[in-house]
Chain A
């Protein structure tokens, strides 16, 4: 890759590296992550840094970089020196295995739960009192309902929504043709496709577009409890997708920077009770059963399926659904 972008990224990485190097005895690691995890890691990092200092006596600063997940992964592939990468869908880590072997091929096995410290799922956010009586996926495909989802082509959030709807319809109709028909009707109800999850939130909450927003549970709770001014309700569908957030050490970078140990400790911390508690406070579903139990009122039980269980894994999904000219494209083109 010799584009100006990659040069810029490399330049930025150098700047980060140099500024980190200025504080001599200090160790630093860079966590490259997706867009809406910014607040979560802002809370997690200082706690881990103080733990690390207590354990090793070493001053640690954890730097964060956030952006659209695929873009972030591309930046790392192009040379951004991330010690760890924390994403919201597995393909954004798999790409780093393919591109230059930055991440070990068996990254899923390095940490518990397939290296996913927390999970979330796609749920509905409706206007207060649920005036359109939206209860389940079926209601989203009815004529006259406006559905706001982020663009599945450009956002993990949108991709999960599409797959959740697909899985639901597959289960209900028992056939791919039925699922396709359902997805087509659902996406015909989408008036705006925002680039990412936050954009869709703004369109739904601030611009007053649509009757229902389909988004990650953590985002939905955040809006319903904190941002939305009590103007919205959350609706849990009968079934949805398991959107687990994968993490990995960027082996090549960590080897070079000699940060493997701290990077692994950092990711392990995410699975520890303290880490899980902070995760739960950001409305992501923790893996630790004790922590989950403690916050059970926040996370109502919902039946979920994984991409691997129902849809044949990410590679198949990518090829079958999201590649150019594949099912998603056919669906959105077919409706007009």
Chain B
């Protein structure tokens, strides 16, 4: 990157310095503390903590449910964004505001509300239970909670891109003989895809770290419905800081790798579709 090109705002060094200091203070130093604390365990101890069967089962649930929830949000969040941008209907502003609600709601409230709703005596649960579908206190409940808290991310990242997207592009595609699916697949989707991936990554990251809402609906049975953040809390309850940070370290590394892959994928698709930033 050349600093001699003209920039509207001067002060590259200043802003970079500020960026680094700010990031260090807020992100890097606390994370470094986590790693540092982990090192008080020997490698063997570390390995036995992070690979114990119960913890491994919790990784599967946490990362599996988070990926699935982010995928569900990618599909339905896109639909929601589409409806909000392309159509006008009464109450649109209201729905638009509702989308942000999972951001604002304390997660414990969300968890309790969802549990009340899906328990076998709840509004929804009473109809699902006879069908043999149990949501509350099952891994499915974890998924429901994670879908709930991740929803705004996809909608809010895709929405502005959709708003910028000229309908003329679609009309041009149609006039050249493309049918609807082709237009969507080859014209609309490639433009939206980077934003969609960003939303997906954000929803995923949020879901992996989620504790408050999940804990109420999960049931928390060992090997079945324990999420990784609960394993960390469990360690802390036993005054085992090092064990807790060991699991946290594994989560961080996993999450970082996955986010790196998603970001790489995003950069690649952006370049391919000529929307390099």
Residues of A whose CB lies within 8 Å of any CB of B are: 1-4, 68, 70-71, 73-74, 95, 151, 153-154, 190-195, 199, 202-203, 206-209, 318, 322-325, 329, 332-333, 336
Given A192-B137, A207-B116, A209-B137, A336–B238 Cβ distance below 8 Å?
Answer: no
> Within 8 Å CB of A2, what residues of B?
33
Most chain-B CB neighbours within 10 Å: which of A2, A192, A209? A192
Question: Could you tell me if B219 and A208 are in contact, using CB atoms closer than 8 angstroms?
Answer: no
Interface with A: B82-90, B221-229, B266-274, which one?
A: B221-229
A-B contact count (CB 8 A): 85
16 contacts between A and B (CB under 8 A): A1-B241, A2-B33, A3-B33, A3-B34, A3-B37, A4-B30, A151-B234, A153-B237, A192-B220, A193-B220, A194-B220, A208-B121, A209-B120, A324-B238, A329-B54, A332-B223
> Within 8 Å CB of B115, what residues of A?
207
Bound complex: CA A191 to CA B136 (Å): 11
Given A3-B30, A70-B239, A191-B137, A207–B121 Cβ distance below 8 Å?
Answer: yes
In whole Å, how far is A37's beta carbon from the nearest beta carbon of chain B? Answer: 18
Residues of B whose CB lies within 8 Å of any CB of A are: 30, 33-34, 37, 49, 52-54, 112, 115-116, 119-122, 136-137, 215-216, 219-224, 233-241, 243
In whole Å, how far is A148's beta carbon from the nearest beta carbon of chain B? Answer: 10
Question: Could you tell me if B223 and A153 are in contact, using CB atoms closer than 8 angstroms?
Answer: no
Per DSSP, chain A at the interface is loop
> Within 8 Å CB of A73, what residues of B?
239
Question: Could you tell me if B223 and A336 are in contact, using CB atoms closer than 8 angstroms?
Answer: yes
User: From B137, which residue of chain A is reached at the shortest CB distance?
Assistant: A192
User: From B55, which residue of chain A is reached at the shortest CB distance?
Assistant: A324
> Within 8 Å CB of B221, what residues of A?
190-193, 332
Bound complex: CA A2 to CA B29 (Å): 10
User: From A156, which residue of chain B is reached at the shortest CB distance?
Assistant: B237
> Within 8 Å CB of B33, what residues of A?
2-4
Given A2-B33, A322-B238, A207–B222 Cβ distance below 8 Å?
Answer: no
Contact check: which of B53, B121, B239 meets A74 at CB < 8 Å?
Answer: B239
Question: Could you tell me if B119 and A208 are in contact, using CB atoms closer than 8 angstroms?
Answer: yes
Question: Could you tell me if A333 and B223 are in contact, using CB atoms closer than 8 angstroms?
Answer: yes
Q: Given A322-B238, A333-B53, 5 other A-B contacts at CB below 8 A?
A: A2-B33, A70-B236, A195-B220, A207-B137, A208-B120
> Within 8 Å CB of A195, what residues of B?
215, 220, 233
Bound complex: CA A209 to CA B224 (Å): 18
> Within 8 Å CB of A194, what residues of B?
220
Bound complex: CA A194 to CA B115 (Å): 12
In whole Å, how far is B22's beta carbon from the nearest beta carbon of chain A? Answer: 15
